[in-house]
Amino acid sequence: MKTRIVQKALPFAAIVLAVAGAFAANISRTNVSTYADVNGRIPSTCAETSVVCSDNFNPQMCTNGAQQLYKLNAAGTACPQALYKKIQ
């Protein structure tokens, strides 16, 4: 009798374990798109430069000469977010 219960429960347990493992190992795709390379902008006018920066935090700020560069907001009206030097 116990053998029949184990024979029926074992495949079910394997499927549950596989599904749980798939969800546990799922990598969030939002992190991939949030750290993109962007051209830095001068904060006073939001004019775009040719300097490629990253919004991934590191200690080195992205600059164009002595001017620190920023990222344009989603509305396209201001440059509030500081950018960082792109590290290969």
Dist. CA 18–CA 58, nearest whole Å: 38
- What pLDDT is attached to residue 28? 54
DSSP bridge partners of 82: 70
The DSSP letter of residue 61 is B
- What pLDDT is attached to residue 31? 47
Tens digit of each residue's pLDDT (9 = 90 or more) over 4-41: 777 777 888 888 777 777 777 665 544 444 567 889 99
Tens digit of each residue's pLDDT (9 = 90 or more) over 35-72: 678 899 998 899 999 999 998 888 999 999 999 999 99
- Which amino acid appears at position 73 of this protein? N
**pTM of this prediction?**
0.59
- What pLDDT is attached to residue 83? 93
Residue ranges per domain, the chain?
36-85
Burial zone of 46 (CB within 10 Å; 0-12 exposed, 13-18 middle, 19+ buried) = middle
